[in-house]
A and B are shown apart, each in its own frame.
Chain A
Amino acid sequence: MKDKNQDYIRRLLKDTSFINWAKGTNKNDIEYWNALIQKNPQHIESIETAKSVIIGIKFTKQFPSSHKIDQEFNKVLGTLQEETATNYRFSVKRKLKAVASFSTAAIVLFMITWSGFTLYQNTNTNVHKTNFGEIIDLKLPDGTSVVLNGNSEIRYANADPRNITLKGEAYFKVKSIPSTNAKFWVHTEDLKVEVLGTQFHVNTRRKKTNVVLDEGSIHLEFNNGDVKKMVPGELVTFSQGSEKLVHTKVTVATPYALWRDGTYTFNEISLKEIMTNIEYTYGVNVEYENIKLQQLLITGGVPNQNLKICINAIERATNTRIIHKDNTLLIQNNLNN
């Protein structure tokens, strides 16, 4: 019985008309196969299996950059030339190289499994990237610690680890180097943060950059040329697009959304704004059953290491029901009340 089904599937997989149906490309074939399925419901399982084999799985493929490929090719050419020149000496050298490369291999493996580490484009640039819903703690070569929120990325040149480009959201504890007074820079699309040694939070989502300073002092250099000094407890928001600048002190009265130690802290923030945060961090879509729901205000902390816990907390805080299906969060009034 099972073999018979497999034979049937194999025949389907070779049938051009069936492939057209599965891909939905030819109208006649679609009609033909739809009619056939109606008449032969016993085959539906085999047909669906064959269809899924044809459609398959879509991968986001990651390949090395063409620059990297050129580099590697030149290395091969170099080896070939070297080998013809000194055939004997080389075999010894290669062995040594192999040993060295394996001891580093273990370390590389560790990093990949831990943080979705990507190191492709350029060997001179370090990139740390998080997936949706993933948070990583990083120690930079200079001793600065960075907590990178989900769907975010920092990159820096190996030669200059105190000069960082950020996309997304991160919390920095910058290690000060008193002997040299070395500065630390964070670049975003909208501004540059200049630091001596301090703790602060940068968020570049929603086409604007938010900076909150916890300790120490920093200078901001905006892309329009302005410079601003910040003192602890202040919040600055700037967008290059709208050139709108907000500079306030974070108090009990200011609406703010902060992210620290894996927790979002909100003060009088609308559900709409919070859900936009969730969309960026977890890569989901949010829909509202009723547009009024967007205006609900939330005050308090929401844990955000895990989408499920996060949704639960928001449900309780706003007395709503959130349905998670196929990458979409649908927000509804809680009917039980």
Chain B
Amino acid sequence: MDITSEESLWYFFKKGEINAFKALFKKYYPTLHAYGLKISNSSQLTEDCLQSFFVYLFENRNSLGDVKNLKSYLFSSFKRALFKQLQKQRLKTSLNDSNLLEYYITFSPQELAITQESQFLCSDTLHNLLNKLSSREKEVVYLKYYSDLSTSEISEVMDISYQSVSNTLQKAMLKLRKGTESQQIRNILKKY
């Protein structure tokens, strides 16, 4: 990753350069959009929230500090903004306070490439296995392999330690591996 260009991008953005702002927007809008959609399940909400998020960033650029890692900074602050909106929305629609901060990531079969590089994972059952993971495991898997975040970036976005990201990821992949194995065995047994 080209750190210097990220740094200069942020520097010029903070100076109010529209071109830097545009470059920043173009670079991060797609992955943030996909992430927001995954969490909220609503493109309307995601897009509205991204709109006000970028407006907020630009208007408050002078009070934003120097960020160490732009990607994880944007992911975590966008996540916070989106949660605020989701919370408001749920307050309006449901009286049940207990699930205010609950959100569920679900994976659909068409999101998974038909052939997986790893022989352990066969794709026709993979989405089912993914959806059986705990919500924390799902988020780690999503951020790692869909959003291409590094382990330390994930730990910032999810606000958990580097160790627990690493452990969660291992556990998730182990479950997926075991799951496909037993699925394959069951398929073979069914046939004979």
Whether the pair A112, B43 counts as a contact (CB closer than 8 A) is yes
Whether the pair A108, B42 counts as a contact (CB closer than 8 A) is yes
Which residues of A78-122 are within 8 A (CB) of B? 79-80, 83, 94, 98, 101-102, 104-106, 108-109, 112-113, 116, 119
Q: In the complex, identify which listed stretch (B7-15, B62-70, B72-80, B168-176) lies at the interface while the others stay far away.
A: B168-176
Does chain A have a CB within 8 A of B82?
A: no
CB contacts (< 8 Å) of B105 on chain A: these are: none
Picked from A49, A79, A327, the residue with its CB within 8 Å of the CB of B123 is: A327
B109 to chain A, nearest CB (A): 6
Picked from A50, A53, A64, A326, the residue with its CB within 8 Å of the CB of B30 is: A64
Whether the pair A58, B117 counts as a contact (CB closer than 8 A) is yes
1/0 per residue, CB under 8 A from A, across B26-41: the answer is 1001110110000001
CB contacts (< 8 Å) of A119 on chain B: these are: 43
Does chain A have a CB within 8 A of B47?
A: yes
Closest to A75 in B: B51
Whether the pair A64, B169 counts as a contact (CB closer than 8 A) is no
Picked from B31, B34, B59, B89, the residue with its CB within 8 Å of the CB of A102 is: B89
Whether the pair B112, A60 counts as a contact (CB closer than 8 A) is yes
Picked from A6, A57, A61, A73, the residue with its CB within 8 Å of the CB of B25 is: A73
Complex alpha-carbon distance, A76 and B21, angstroms: 11
Whether the pair B123, A61 counts as a contact (CB closer than 8 A) is no
B173 to chain A, nearest CB (A): 4
How many chain A residues touch the partner (CB < 8 A)? 51
**Contact-residue bracket for chain B:** 35 or more
Binding site of A, secondary structure by majority: helix, strand, loop or mixed?
helix
Known contacts: A52-B121, A57-B126, A101-B48. The answer to whether A63 contacts B31 by CB under 8 A is yes
Whether the pair A13, B174 counts as a contact (CB closer than 8 A) is no
Which residues of A183-237 are within 8 A (CB) of B? none
Complex alpha-carbon distance, A56 and B110, angstroms: 17
Whether the pair B45, A6 counts as a contact (CB closer than 8 A) is no
Does chain A have a CB within 8 A of B161?
A: no
Whether the pair A56, B144 counts as a contact (CB closer than 8 A) is yes
Complex alpha-carbon distance, A34 and B50, angstroms: 48
Whether the pair B34, A63 counts as a contact (CB closer than 8 A) is yes
